[in-house]
Every structure is written in structure tokens, then in C-alpha cells.
Amino acid sequence: MTTETSTEYEKYYVPEKSKLAVCATIGLILSIFGASYGLNEMTFGDGSGSWGILWVGLAIFAGTLFVWFRTTIRENIAGMNSAQLKKSYVLGMFWFIFSEVMFFFAFFGALFYVRNLAGPWLAGEGDGGRMNGLLWEGFQYSWPMASTPQESIGGAGNQLIANNGTFESYDKSMAFGDASAWYAWLPLWNTLILLSSSVTVHIAHLGLLDGNKKKFNLWLGLTVLLGIIFVFVQAYEYYEAYEHFGLTLNSGIYGSTFFMLTGFHGFHVMMGMTMLLIQWIRSVKFGHFTADDHFGFEASSWYWHFVDVVWVFLFLFVYIL
Amino acid sequence: MGDHHHGPAKGLSRWLFTTNHKDIGTMYLWFSFAMFILGGSFAMIIRAELFQPGMQLVDPLFFNQMTTLHGLVMVFGAIMPSFVGLANWMIPMMIGAPDMALPRMNNWSFWILPPAFLLLASTLFMEGGAPAFGWTFYAPLSTTYAAPSVTIFIFCIHVLGISSIMGSINIIATVMNMRAPGMTYMKMPLFVWTWLITAFLLVAVMPVLAGAVTMMLMDIHFGTSFFSAAGGGDPVLFQHVFWFFGHPEVYIIILPAFGVVSQIIPAFARKPLFGYDSMVYATASIAFLSFIVWAHHMYTVGMPVAGELFFMYATMLIAVPTGVKVFNWISTMWRGALTFETPMLFCLGFLVLFTIGGFTGLMLSIAPADFQYHDSYFVVAHFHYVMVAGAVFSMTAAVYYWLPKWCGKMYSETMGKTHFWISFIGFNLTFFPQHFVGLAGMPRRIPDYALQFADFNMMSSIGAFIYGSSQILFLYNVIATIVSGKPVSDDKVWDGAEGLEWTVPTPAPYHTFETPPKVDASHAHS
Ligand code: HEM
Ligand SMILES: [Cu+2]
């Protein structure tokens, strides 16, 4: 086999030794150590109080990420990133978002499984039917689940199988109820807010492509603002759920799926918002980004669109259907 | 940075702070070997307890911790990281890239593994003991009934997942973006192809596993009821989520092994791989099918008949692309100028024994028959044929095959062959009898058994001790080669080997292909 060295070639930048990975490792491992022991103390009452370790770990982790991104940004400004390296970043971000999609897929899968299969079986339908008469006599299935199997048999004390907690259903679910009061239904407003934020971030991108930094800063700032409003509305919704609807994490599988899906979504909104906010500060304060070099912004905006699409599915399958 | 060439830094900082794919590959390989020994010693405890019927050495709870940790350490600590290490070493050299696409993240993917496993192993000393619910950690054993160590276990799984996802993203970006000019997709060595597809699988299913353990975490600590029927959830939901990850996971383990075998057999048959294109398509179809067969692990759980049938037929379909591969390897050897150096011996061992594992898999895929086989030693025999004789043998072959390129020294052929034969005999002595006791009804994961299984179990245990000790020989062989092996200076260590990695000097310099080679049009894949 013959090999010769190709001529025109931009060198791929391979960074020198770096302490970043080790610092990030220390942060991550301290975090999970603190979280595990802290949770165990909370639930089982043993282990030494360790929440402090979690906070130290998270602080180290966040600090490392800050330095890490600052380093890559500086490398880019110094012109060390060839077009090929930039493509590696693009691929990295794309497949990272794909992995996030799959994370949500697990929770949506759980929702579909419970709603279409396990729920009806618990109530005596189909092949799993006998369980109902044996264990959960009288349980009727509906979605949102009006009463948990445990409640149907008169509480945890009557359970024939191991008891793993008390599950009491809600007084009022989050599903769309009264059509005449649609304007008071928060999820609808939140949908509008999040959808329009996808539009504003796109307008910001168009502005940047035109080289219009003022337009970019304005619309990007607006996007962040919409994100913040979304999070506050969501938080208010949780407050209502806990305080007035009796809907909690303990409200059986409906509460579990509702809070886990919207909760992880909300967490991702906060992440995306932070990313966009950082890009906004970079642009406003440091004048970063040009029409043909703005990957930091582009990656954050992809992430934002992803969060938005997840919400559309949430709105459909958690709130409406 | 300029153009200066620099070698590795000195001392510990070289390894802690490195961004070099070869350093990182080396760390992965040594780490996975350490885990192999750790997981192996857990297995020795299991086999010592099962040497004779009756309760012999350990109490049942500890026995359960051993089966659990053995599985977890071997799957997540030994096999997976070993192939990631191999990918790190070989992929850039095989496609003519200067390094992995994202070198700093590469280092991070590695360094979170050792502390995570340390933390997991430390649960052995916790009150209530280490996880004892099997490597498949079914709810409610892993939720309602679990010891507090389960919380640590959950977070460790998260960390392993983060590591795998970052490692895979790196591999995808490297393969898609860093191939040398002229290295088109259909010219890539099969090891690169199989890893590319494996990386897709990993990015797709590790997040689902993260979802599963997160649901466990919430059920245990925050009162949700995903896996509790009392609240309207379903413990079987856990099995669905787990196996949606778990079945692709077994292909994550075996596909890179397929890649290795597809590199080595042509080299020692001195013929190009038979049916390169069909190998690529077979790999892709296996990956696709692996997403729609997961419930073949759950035939006995009480699924509707339509579900049983669907998963049964889908599972049987996988035998088709797998068969394509086996026949291609055999055809590659047909009329080849075969020689039987150690890497080739391990590949042939792989070929024969993996095929046996494939056949038992086919038996297990028949739903009505699986009602008898399920959770018996027959399943244990099946998956050890595919995972040990499959993945571990091919990994061993890879080490012997590329070790001379890595360190510039040749291992002793006599010692290598001795290692192979002891492994081969020990392995079969351990696991072949398990087919029989399994068919006769001996359940897995139980520290005691009925008297009629005594003879076969004693054989199994003796075989396990033989196989286990042969790995010490492996360690010795590798160290002896590095320290005092016969130096080799040919770029191309094996006369039949093909591929870019054989065009760089031996031992491979710290940096290779800083400017990419030009792969000429006539050069086909190996
Ligand atoms: C021809 C291909 C294969 C088929 C048809 C097949 C089929 C099956 C079936 C039906 C089971 C479930 C048995 C039971 O629990 O009752 C099983 C278990 C298993 N298989 Fe395979 N298999 C194949 C190849 C592989 C490969 C390549 C690997 C890994 C390298 C693998 C790893 C496993 C493992 C680890 C288990 C047991 C999981 C557990 O319960 O702990 N299989 N296989
Ligand atoms: Cu499977």
C-alpha cells in the first residue's frame, strides 16, 4: 500500500495537556458522593450528613465548566480552530442533543406503557386481569388516574404485597377541564410563551446572519426573558398543584409521570436559558459572534429548539390527551 | 502551538492531564484489565461456593452481592472500557487522523470511571451490603427491598452512562469528521465500522438506562410509583425500560468484537475479508433489530400472546445477519494461507464458541421453550459463550495482535499459545456443563443446589479456577513482552496485515498522522 502526505491541509488542533478533565472529575464524583449519602440519610436515617459535599462538588464542577468553555472560546478567538475542528463541535452538539431526546423517550415510554397497557391491566382488563381481583379489588382505571389501586382497597394497610409508601390521588388534575375558563389554564400560556421564544431566537439568528448585532442582542435578550417567564409560570403551576390541587409526587403514577416529565423539561429549560444568557452576555459585553462565526450561539439555539419540541409533546400527551 | 513534535510528559501528570489518544487508550486498557481481575475474583467466590452442594463458604446475602457485582463490573468495568480503549488506540491510526476529535473530553470520559467503580466497590463495606439484586437490578428488589447502597449504585450508573455517551460522541465525531482524504466510508476497516455503529447504539440507549435508574431513585427517595402497582405503576415497566437498554447493550459488547475478528482473520488467512459490504450491512441490520427484540428477556413475565410472538420472531431474525457474518469469516479462511499465531487462535476460538452461543440464543428465542430455560443455568451458559468466548476472546486476540505495534516488542508465541489453550479448555470446562444443569432445571443466582447437579458443578468450578488463573498468565505475558520482549522494527508486524496502522513506525510514535496520509484509490480495506 502506498501512502503519501496530502498537501493543502489545515492542521487539526490537538490541545496540550489539560487539567480540565481531572477537575471536572473531582467535581462530579464529589457531587454524586454527597448526593447519595445525603439522600440515604434523608430516607434511611443513616450515613453522615453530606449535602455540603454535594454543594462543594457542584461548585467545583460548575467552575471547571466555566473555565473549560472559556478556554475553547479563547482558542477559537485565537484562530486555532480549523473548519474541521468546528465540524467536530457541531457533531458533538448534535449527538448530545440526540442523547437527551432518548432520555425523554424513556419517560414518555413509561407514560405510554402505563396509560395504554399497565393501567387497564391493573383494573382487570386483558391478560393481566386476575391481578385485579386478587390484589386491587374494585380498582377502576381512568386517566388521569382518579384513585390509586391502594386507595381502592382502602389504603396501604390492606395491601397484600409489600408496602412501598402511601399513594393518594389528587383532588384536581392538570388536564384541560373547563373550556369556558381556557384563559386561566396556565399550560396553554406556557405553550405560547415557549413557542414564541423559538421564533424570537430564530429572528436573533437572522439578525446575526445579516450582521445586525443590535437586532441580535435585542431578540436574544427577549428569548431569555421568555424563558424566565416560562420557568416562573411553571413554578407557579407546581405551587398550585401542591397547595390547591393535592397533586404531588406521591399522587400515584399520574403524579409521578406528570412531575417527572414536566420537571425534567423545566430543568432543561433552565439549562438552555443559562446557555442562551451566556451567549447574550458574550455578545453584549464582549462583542463576540460574527455573521460567519457564532457556534456557541448556534449550539445553544439548537438546544432551545429541542427543549421546545419536547414541550410540544408534553403539552399533547401530558396535558391535553 | 507551532509545529514542534513533542513526546509525552513525565510522571503522573502525563496520565492525569493527557489529551493523547494513545495514552488514554492505554489507561482504558489497563483499567479494564484491573476490573477484569476484580470481577474475576468475585466469580471465583461464586464458583467456590458452588463447588459442592450445601452452604459452604459465604452467606446467601453475600453470594447475591457477588453475582451482582460480578456482572456489573464485568459488563461496565471490564468489557465495555476495554473496547473503548482499543477504539482510542486504533481508530485514529486506522483512519489516518492525528487524534480523537475531542481530546480533552476524551480524557474526562476515562477519568470518571475509576472513582465511580471505587465508589461502587466501597458499597461492599456499607451497612446492608453492596447491591444484591443481580446485574439486571429488577424492581422491586432494587427499590422496595434494596439496601441503602442502591443510591450509590444509581449515581454510579449515571456516571458510567455519562462516560459512555461522551466516549461514543467522540468516536462518532472522529469517524465522521477525521478520516484521511480518500478514506471513504466503504473503505474503512471493519473495526472502525463496527465501532461507529456501536457508538450510535450507545448514544441511543445509555440515556434510557439513565432514565430507568432515575425512576428508581425517585421511587426510593421521593415517593413516586413508577414501579409500584399500589400507586398505579408496574414493576414490569422496569423490565421494559431496562431491556430496551439491555438488549442493545449486548450488541454494544459484541459488535466491536466482530470488528476485531474481521481485522485479524484476513491477516492470518492472507486474504482480504470475504464480503466486506455485506459485513457492513449485516452490522447495521443487527443494530437496527436490536431495538425491537428486548422483551425476549421477559417471556415469562406475563406478556400478551401477541407480544410474545412479535418478540420471538423479531429475535429469530437476528440470527440471519449474524449468520452472514459467521459465514463470511469462514469464507475468508477458505483456501487461505492460514497460520495459527496466538491472535488467530483466539479468533478461531471465538468463531467456534460464539457460534455455539448463537445457537443457544436461538433456542432461548423460542418463547414456549424459554419458559423452561428462563433463569436457569442454560441462560448463564448462553451468555458466557457469547460474552466471554465472544467478547473477551476477541479482546484478548486484539491485545496479542496489536501489542507489538503498541510497544515495539514481540510476545512469546509459546506463552501466547499456552494462554490460549488453557483459556480454551478452562472456559469450556466451566460453561459447557452449565448447559446440562440448566436444562435439568438448576436455577441461576442461588447459592445452593440439588444433589444431582453436584458433579457438573464441580467440573464448572474447576474449569473456572483454570480459566481464572490463565488470566494471570495473560498479565504475565503482556508485562513480559513490554519489559523484555524481542524488539520488532518492521512497520508491518504481520505479513498479512492490511491497514494504515501498519504504515506508521513500530512502536507507534506518540503522535501519528499529524498531517493526514492520502489513501490512494486502489487501496481497499483490509
Ligand atoms: C443469535 C443471537 C442471540 C439470540 C437469539 C439471543 C437470545 C437470547 C434470549 C432469548 C435470552 C433470554 C433468555 C432468558 O432469560 O430466558 C438471552 C439472554 C442473554 N443474552 Fe442472548 N442472544 C443472542 C446473542 C447474544 C449476544 C451476542 C450477547 C452478548 C454478547 C448476548 C447476551 C445475553 C445476555 C447477557 C443474556 C442474559 C441476560 C440476563 O438475564 O442476565 N446474547 N439471549
Ligand atoms: Cu437480548
**What is the DSSP code (8-state) at residue A248?**
-
Taking only the tens place, the pLDDT of each residue in A20-43 is 999 999 999 999 999 999 999 888
Task: Answer whether B387 contacts ligand 1 (Cβ < 6 A).
Answer: yes
How high is the mean pLDDT of chain B?
95
User: What's the Cα-to-Cα distance from B28 to each of A226, B87, B173, B197, rounded to whole Å?
Assistant: 45, 10, 19, 20
The C-alpha cell that represents A306 in the structure block:
429541542
Give the three-state DSSP class for A177: coil
Nearest by Cα to A272 from A294, A305, A295: A305
Q: pLDDT at position A47, please?
A: 56
The C-alpha cell that represents A44 in the structure block:
434511611
User: Whole-model pTM?
Assistant: 0.95
Say whether pLDDT at B264 is over 90: yes
Min Cα–Cα distance to chain A from B148, Å: 6
CB contact under 8 A, B169 and A91: yes
Residue A9: exposure state from Cβ atoms within 10 A (0-12, 13-18, ≥19): middle
User: For residue B390, which atom of ligand 1 is closest to its CA?
Assistant: 30
Name residue, grid cell 442582542. Answer: A217
Determine the Cα–Cα distance for residues B395 and B257; give it in Å rounded to an integer.
7
Q: Could you give the domains of chain B?
A: 22-227+237-502 (1.20.210.10)
Q: pLDDT at position B255, please?
A: 98
The C-alpha cell that represents B140 in the structure block:
422491586
Determine the Cα–Cα distance for residues B212 and B195; give it in Å rounded to an integer.
25
Q: Which ligand is nearest to the CA of B377?
A: 1
The C-alpha cell that represents B339 in the structure block:
497460520
Taking only the tens place, the pLDDT of each residue in A66-109 is 999 999 999 999 988 888 999 999 999 999 999 999 999 999 99
CB atoms within 10 A of CB B88: 28
Length, in residues, of chain A: 321
Determine the Cα–Cα distance for residues A123 and B136; give it in Å rounded to an integer.
28
Task: Answer whether B324 contacts ligand 1 (Cβ < 6 A).
Answer: no
Predicted ipTM > 0.85? yes
Cα–Cα–Cα angle for A282, A288, A294, rounded to 5 degrees: 105
Strands B486-487 vs B409-410: parallel, antiparallel or unpaired: antiparallel
- The domain ranges of chain A are 17-80, 83-321
CATH classification code of A17-80: 1.10.287
B14 annotated active-site: no
User: Amino acid identity, residue A175?
Assistant: A
Q: How far is the CA of B383 from the centre of ligand 1 (A)?
A: 6
Task: Answer whether B321 contacts ligand 1 (Cβ < 6 A).
Answer: no
Q: pLDDT at position A10, please?
A: 67
**Rounded average pLDDT over A301-305:** 97
User: What's the Cα-to-Cα distance from A269 to each of A67, A225, B467, rounded to whole Å?
Assistant: 23, 12, 52
Q: Which ligand is nearest to the CA of B362?
A: 1
Q: Residue B1: which pLDDT band, with cuts at 50, 70 and 90?
A: very low
CATH class in words for A83-321: mainly alpha
Q: Residue A15: which pLDDT band, with cuts at 50, 70 and 90?
A: confident
Does B122 reach chain A within 8 Å, measured CB to CB? Answer: no
Residues from chain B that touch A156, judged by Cβ atoms under 8 A, are 230
Say whether pLDDT at A7 is over 50: no
Q: pLDDT at position A117, please?
A: 93
CB contact under 8 A, B515 and A9: yes
Name residue, grid cell 391493573. Answer: A122
Determine the Cα–Cα distance for residues A249 and B503; give it in Å rounded to an integer.
60
Nearest by Cα to A256 from B209, B232, B154, B208: B232
Q: pLDDT at position B526, please?
A: 45
CB contact under 8 A, B112 and A28: yes
Task: Answer whether B376 contacts ligand 1 (Cβ < 6 A).
Answer: no
How high is the mean pLDDT of chain A?
90
Taking only the tens place, the pLDDT of each residue in B317-370 is 999 999 999 999 999 999 999 999 999 999 999 999 999 999 999 999 999 999
B430 annotated active-site: no
